[in-house]
Amino acid sequence: MAHGVRVLALDYGVARCGCALSDPTGTLATPIEPVLRPATRKGFARVCDLVREREAGRVVVGLPLSLSGADSAQTRETRAWAARLAERVPVPVELYDERFTTQLASRDPGAPTSSEDSRAAAHLLTGWLAARASEDRPPSGQEAG
């Protein structure tokens, strides 16, 4: 991932969409205010505005797979919502496995200043950033450059 690109992570849900934003270096994931009812016209417009306002260069939407990795009704709804978002924003939108992020967020010590949904989005983003960082590393024993 190119440095200087902020990534907006979204933990989509019908009632609320948790949101987290990376720093430009792709090191930190910070929970931000969730968007209420993101499938409504007003909520969806707010998500699109967030991409612009926060100068996100990419959007990562958590994909709620079942523990076995299979799709569920929520997975299909999330895929459809993310596809709709990809048509409306000028940056790449990708899906990323979000299994366990809500459980991790519920265990965050002393984090009542942000919503659990947005903390889940931060866990999602942390995992996505770590996966991208490992892809950017040269194979063991080889130097970059």
Q: What is the pTM of this model?
A: 0.82
> Element (H or E) spanning 10, and its range?
strand 6-11
Sheet holding 56-63, edge to edge: 29-36, 16-22, 6-11, 56-63, 93-97
143 pLDDT band, cuts 50/70/90, is very low
- What are the b/e assignments for 54-82, b being 16+ CB within 10 Å? eebbbbbbbbbbeeeeeeeeebeebbebb
> Element (H or E) spanning 47, and its range?
helix 41-53
The Cα 130–Cα 113 span in angstroms is 24
Domains of the chain are: 6-136 (3.30.420.140)
Measured CA distances, 118 to 4, 6, 69, 104 (Å):
22, 16, 23, 12
Q: Which pLDDT belongs to residue 10? A: 97
Q: pLDDT tens across 41-97, in order?
A: 999 999 999 999 999 999 999 999 877 778 889 999 999 999 999 999 999 999 998
The Cα 35–Cα 54 span in angstroms is 14
The mean pLDDT of 101-106, rounded to a whole number, is: 53
142 pLDDT band, cuts 50/70/90, is very low
